Structure 1
């Protein structure tokens, strides 16, 4: 009884007894007996004693009220007013009024309110058992059967039957076993109600405990496994733990599309792309005419280099979406276009935000795309205006901080991150690495000690991609603190621990930190030499090269002069020029340095077409000073968003104003 499952059984028995102390005495008899044989007689005696009491209570009721009790007794469980009215052939209004009186008299209780439906049930389950006693003469005792089902799981009941523990009352055991095949386990049912209640209240730890108890009771209940996965995600547990739960769901029910889709998402985060591809394919088989699994499968195909197949699924997704009419549909269209038609994707996200300015995913996707396109100033301008329009939205402040950081405005970035965390201290648990970026900004401000403290005080992230970024930045900060051996050992461990498919060069913030933090080539050489040695040892030079190309963006920082940029290239050429994997990245870096100095498009035309595409159009956008069509479209978007938010605020205030005015006293001269 002291175990968690024992306490769950006691809660179920408490419900079964309906708070009646006499029934607890009989249940206690069970706990003190070696077998269940002698328990039937006390049960029958109890029911015989209580039946006249409950019959007298029924006699005191009006005919309609007795009819309502009988209906609830026959139907069992919690029942809606509408269903009782249908059975009683009466109006819902009349039944609702009578239920209110029965509730006040202690006959019924309101079990739940879901949407517009109120559910009622008998306050004392024992009343139902006793009123049914005449119908049960010569057959099983309902209360005894229910008790068996509460105290024993289906597996335990089957074992009792095999062991022959109940020799005299096999009828009750068989009835209990029969019920397990057609009805929900009462303990599991109670635990599911508990974890759903806790989920709605946001108490994920309590919900997790209830889900784990339900799994302990019935390992094949997929709803409990799904709930456990949701709780693990909300509490920031590891992705592997979540994956185990979703895989168990599909073992129980291979047709669960959502569980396959969740596996696809998690496996992508873990960098296990081939497994993600298999999961997305399974989801697609189940929902072939749903645009979302088509998009997910296309992304997985793109990840493994099967571009032509990916495009076919992207095209099918667009066909299924049709002409977008909602914010969600426009966002999904943008996800399809983002790979090959980024400007169309920007417009799609803009359309979504015109329809719903509060669509957080819309702003996130729009600004990430502006980042990738090198439109930092436009991103900053939009995010700054949105912090005024939506000052209580932490995600807006987070991306405003990112925009400031990309422009080298580190103090403003830190203030924005702090504001985001002030509004939502748990933002870092919601897949937004705000604490990581805050540590990066502190490091860029020349405060590596504070940056290290910020990282060490942050709970371990669930996402392995974020774990990789944390570990990489942690190693880098140690090196900036002149804890060189420790930093090198950490970096060596990071490159060994995290799979190459998990991350790309885009995650190498350490490259930006090096040139942004110092213009001293001697310090550059010390870091770059170590990077080349360790990345080569772990066969990660390709990722280092990708990072070098992505971080060409840092050349747009206002304090990086043309001569500093040229020295940066010369240093890399000197140290990395002999590595085959670095030949193309160095050629692209030189093109970036030359374009920064000249702003001459012919610099890019000197590159092969496939190489040029790696720099266009973001390199041009980085240094472009005149607004273009996208700038004007985004300006119009902000204008529309401002109008919509203003109208929404005024509409919300109007009823209040009307109420206030109605309450105003008449003027003195009226």
Structure 2
């Protein structure tokens, strides 16, 4: 193994540029853009001025170091550009002092072109004369080159220069357009953001954000490869490695600098070997954090110190109470601290809660307060996310650790018991931050439930939620493997989830392949076994293998202690398959079994009633058909979609049996019910239209009833849904093949609808599609040229309804 590369924690410019390039992450595009803009500044009269803004430790100096390095390697720029990288710890209170700093930086970098002795004369001059003389010297020695000035902590420079110094600097830049500035700052200050400030709008500003977990993983992997540790890089890709990264992320708050410090802990798996280096790291980092806190104004310092003692995010009112300050004062200071990157906030209803952005900052307070032998809170929390709860317990019970390690493990167990599993909480919160509202609502509760059972399973689910199906499937395959060390339950869940993914992708054979291992797992929970059988039955049905589908559904039905909801759905689906096979009696028997099943959920009961009602209708048992649909209407807890479907089914039966008024009444009830939802559901009206078409009526009555039907839909704002059903109805007519209705009948049918909807704007497009479809049917469905009466989009709708392949 190679020696570890020297990665300076606080002064990246001391690290070899090649090593900085090797571990560079997140900002490749930003760096490339900065190089190009400085190149343009050096080779044209168009000067760019760049400002990179971010809290301490977010990689500003790393970025600037690479920028200077890449510019310095450019042979063409060596003749066109001189670089003055200023010492960030020096102070300038006048333009004269700033120019002197620039000149000395050039002396250091280009000793053949600039000499410190040249400055001796300036020390005997008055300030104004010295400034003028030094500016001329600088310009003279630059010749026709562009000067790049690299300034770190621009906010401190502007504070030192003050309003007068800033004005003189801006005037110098305007009068002598040879200068381009690349600067960094911890935050945007008024000297840059206020409209009346001298440098408002002067800089192209880039905000540097902290690392995401994925970007942190990339950084740590690159550090491992730089250090000749490919096995560590490979470990980071494993579920345990990813969990370790989240543990580091919890401590670092996404701070680049802290990840470099913490990279040494990645593979330490023994608590005894972990404690010593952790304490060493605390000793090294404490001065850094103490300095950052000392830099703050007194009121902000008190807030940060108090938050360092808090276990949970704290409301503003509690901070105000504990710090003897007004709510307004604390809110104002917290906003400033958030801008500086010291704290972060979250909303709970209308209340804002605050916590330290970097948990490691707690060491400043804890080191001073921890004067006893009690375990350090920060390390206890670290162990809570470094190991999962079961692993902590197993390590403590194993008895192979020293007394200090045992004390910390015991502390981690007690704290998890009191406050919940921190590792699982962080996993869920991480996905909460990554997922949008819609995906979060759909997936977060599932991720949370999986996190309690298996972190790896929750990770797979989270990747699936983010749309990373391949990553999710790879994780699930690892979990399902016998050698994964996961419980049978977790392995079974992994198989089920993989099967579901493949099913949704239409890869039915692979879905079955993913589910099959469950049946070879001894002691697999009956619920999961029933789910696997049910899902495989559905997959076989999609493949057209009805007998295998029936076998799997039957296996669920007779499985001892199978969940009643799965038994109900297996009975229902078996009834559907029997119906598809034309075995109506068996279908009716299964639907009846669902309806009679003790404790069956209301939804499958309602589904069974709807399907049994239609089955009765198709075997000409109108009485029992109507009774089933009416029972659905009485199930007020059934999903609205099923109740609407029952209304429409009853309306269809009434219209088909000559009870028009009853049919319209029950149809209106269904439409009214469907529009009560936030997202209205008004069902499928194709059967209703077909029933009206097939009824034996005089032309005048048919026209009258068509008009009345349109009015009912218009009254319930459902005209578009009626138009969709009318288009679908064309497909039903076309599929009758040689038995197409007579041309006169089709023409009258089209005319009736056109007359009924002629004054309804929303019905014009559906009617145009319907008219073209009728004309196509009148031509026996053989003249595709008729379809050209529609535009491309409308034509495609009709072609889909008729199941015609679009012509090229």
Q: TM-score, normalised on structure 1?
A: 0.45
Structure ranking higher on relative contact order (CA contacts 8 Å, 6+ apart): 1
Q: Which has the larger radius of gyration?
A: 2
| Structure with the largest fraction of helix | 1
Q: TM-score, normalised on structure 2?
A: 0.38
